[in-house]
Structure 1
Amino acid sequence: MARVLVLGGTSWLGGRVARVAVEAGHDVTCLARGLSGPVPRGARLVRGDRDDEGVYAAELGRGAWDLVVDLARAPRHARGAVRTLGGAARAWVLVSSVSVYARHDEPGADESAQLLPALRADFAAPEQYGEGKAACEAAVTLARGPDALLVRAGLIVGSGDRSDRFGYWPGRFALAARDGGPVLVPRRRDRPVQWVHVDDLARWVVSAGLAGVTGFRNAVGPAVPLGAVLDTCAAVAGFTGELVPATDDALQSAGVQEFMGPHSLPLWLADPAWCSFMDRSGAAALRDGLTHRPLTEVVADAAAWETRLGPARTRKGAGLDRAEERSVIRRLR
């Protein structure tokens, strides 16, 4: 049994990390405000606001940790945690993001690619997410040198995902199969799409951390063509209706945004500067044991989650509402 501290543990990925560790028989503590939900059964919740660096002192008094997993996105949180607890942890994992990279137009780029400048502020605005994560990485590296695992996750998908970035498609095809209407899709089907399933990532974070894996790792699966993703989503949903392919220019002229946010078409990236955002090398993590489930299982899981949420709901994270999609289709025709 290992002593595992999850800095988080009540949100999506953090909760999965804590659950994986509990199911493996480890002694798990989660330090969080507790606002995102309960910790997994079998884990202990220590309530604390990480804006106050004093919250770590109590955990320091509990002795050494075999593994600390930090999911911080605020540089202040990452600095305070590793400065206070870093010396009492045998292994340290920071979950970072591929958003730390300065360029996204280099197909197959690995962990040696250029990074964004680290944010100097304590907290990152939404548009500074990459710079904030780069600052979190810098804080951990400064405190522990090479003795930490920094996991640069790609697009995280699976049950529990409320971003709509991947789940939009199985949800939309399911809705169209029910109402008999067409589905708007990008005409370009060859662009790469890349992801990591939340449960695959959580298991690897715990196992690799306890195994002593260190260094920088892109936690991404193999890149596959967008068309393969769309075809699989349609098949899982039982959709056999009409597709309305649209060129990049047509979508942009209709006011459709790329990838995420309001009025967007998820997974669609037309900007050449972002053409390889979902096409990075995950070879290093693969060598260290990260595994990826088949696309059909990923889509089936996302489809089941969409069913729970309701495919006809108003989209908040990404995607087009059904009425909005129909309006775009009419305009294109």
Structure 2
Amino acid sequence: MDLLVLGGTQWLGRALAAEALARGHRVTCLARGEAGDAPEGAEFVRADRSRVDAYDAVSGRAWDGVIDVTRQPGYARAAAAALGGATRRLAFISSGNVYAAHDVPGADETAELLPPLAADVSTPETYGEAKSAIEQAYREALGDRFLAIRPGLIAGPGDESGRSGYWAARMARAARDGGPVLVPDILDAAAQAIHIDDLVRFILDALERGIAGAFDAVGDRSTFGAWLEASRAAAGFDGELVAVDPDWLAAQGVAEWSGADSLPLWIADPTWNAFLDRSNAAAKRGGLRLRPLARLQSETLAWERGRGIDRERGAGLSPERERELLALLRD
């Protein structure tokens, strides 16, 4: 196939381009080129998607598939106009954030979506509405040639956000240095992630087979406790976990989910309690295959070790901050 990847120089887009090349497809990546290089073997077209001429170099060609990962509605609206008639099918990597509610365990693709963002430029606060708007633009332009992929948390090697690898890396440090490890007392809370390679395989398989529609491409439904145990097993840590009341953690200024001074995968807002608890039944019927959680954690930890488990992270508690919190608990 002749595939056009709008992006292809960052984590997911680059992984899609690289796997497509490995499958023998001809791949073109259109991007500014500021985030990194396209994979070796891909044709690179340098373009700024905010410009009116962004697609001039590719809109006159026939494509078997186009893949877009953007969060900017304006980019997608322009791409839909320029490329909608030039491709046999288009896959957009959307997000579970497109849904209007996140408090129904096991919800599927029939759930209500957020109203599409009218503006062309999104902000972090309008991320879900922006992804909804992009789905709308492509759906209207391509009809039954459109594939919407809605992942939740993407995990595995290459996750520079630091979220998915935090617990495995933390357990590895504890196995080396000794515990205890501070965790939020939410062991029964939902936890769900998809390995990037499983996601990439599903997207490309669907394009190759001509599948259309919307799919929640998410991992199997599980719990935070199971996530911790898989992290412990991957790291070989059998020491103490100190489970702490989430309200106490919040009072100390510990953040949920991601970012500095946080505990990843902890979602404190009750209206988001099922964000990591969606059904993947439709995706599995469409061919999604998932590796076991134990393998996901071991592969993630191997990458974390390569990056350095003592490095400054984009998410999680620093060792100093964790020791401070544990000392407060003992007082």
Q: Same fold (TM over 0.5)?
A: yes
Query: What displacement does 1:309 show?
Result: 2.0
SS of alignment partner, residue 45 of structure 1: strand
Give the secondary-structure state (helix, strand or coil) at the position aligned to 1:79.
helix
Name the CA distance, whole Å, in 2 between partners of 1:110 and 1:53: 37
State the shift of 1:265 in Å. 0.6
**Correspondences of 1:25-174 after superposition (within 5 Å):** 25-61=24-60, 63-174=61-172
CA-based RMSD of the aligned residues comes to 1.2
- Residues of 2 paired with 1:329 and 1:116: CA distance? 40
CA shift for structure 1 position 279:
0.5
Aligned to 2:158, what secondary structure does the other structure show? coil
Counterpart residue number, 2:17: 18
User: Secondary structure of the equivalent of 1:261?
Assistant: coil
Q: Quote the offset at 1:50 in angstroms.
A: 0.8
d(CA) in 2 for partners of 1:109, 1:240: 35
**Residue 45 of structure 2 contacts residue 57 of structure 2 at CA under 8 Å; is this kept in 1?**
no
List runs of 5+ in structure 1 lacking aligned partners: none
Which moves more between the two structures, 138-147 or 156-165?
Answer: 138-147
Letter in 1 for 2:51: D
Is residue 326 from structure 1 mapped to residue 323 from structure 2 by the alignment?
yes
Q: 2:6 — aligned with what?
A: 7
Aligned runs of 1:221-240 on 2, under 5 Å? 221-240=219-238
Q: Over residues 277-329 of structure 1, what are the superposed CA-to-partner deviations in whole Å (9 max), with x where a residue is unaligned?
A: 0001111111011111111111011101211222222222x211111111111
1:39, CA displacement in angstroms?
1.4
Q: Is the deviation greater in 189-198 or in 34-43?
A: 34-43
- What secondary structure, in the 3-state scheme, does the structure 2 residue paired with 1:93 have? strand
Q: Which residue in 2 is equivalent to 1:285?
A: 283
Question: Are the aligned partners of 1:91 and 1:210 in contact in 2 as well (CA < 8 Å)?
Answer: no
Instruction: Tell me the SS of whatever aligns to 1:319.
Output: coil
What is the rounded CA distance, in whole Å, between the counterparts of 1:294 and 1:111 in structure 2?
23
Distance in 1, matches of 2:39 and 2:146, equals: 25
Equivalent-residue separation in structure 2 for 1:131 and 1:233 (angstroms): 34
TM-score by length of 2: 0.97
Q: Equivalents in 2 of 1:28, 1:315: separation in Å? A: 33
Match of 1:311, SS?
coil
Query: How many angstroms apart in 2 are the aligned matches of 1:55 and 1:243?
Result: 52
Per-residue Cα deviation, 1:152-192 (whole angstroms, up to 9, x for no partner) = 11111111001111100011111122222311012221111
Where do 5+ consecutive residues of structure 2 fail to align? Answer: none
Shift of residue 241, structure 1, vs aligned partner: 2.0
Q: For residue 183 of structure 2, what is the aligned residue in structure 1?
A: 185
Report the TM-score, using the length of structure 1 for normalisation: 0.96
Query: Which whole-Å CA distance do the structure 1 matches of 2:192 and 2:106 have between them?
Result: 11
* Kept after mapping to 1: 8 A contact 2:89/2:142: no
SS of match in other structure, 1:177: helix
Counterpart-to-counterpart distance in 2, 1:150 and 1:53: 25
8 A Cα contact 1:191 1:226, kept in partner: yes
1:269 maps to what in 2?
A: 267
Instruction: Give identity over the alignment, percent.
Output: 51
Q: Offset of 1:256 from its aligned partner?
A: 1.2
Aligned length, in residue pairs? 330
Task: Provide Cα deviations, 1:236-273, integer angstroms capped at 9, x if missing partner.
Answer: 11112221110122211221111112221101123211
Contact 2:88 2:145 in 1 (8 A): no
The amino acid across from 2:326 in the alignment is: I
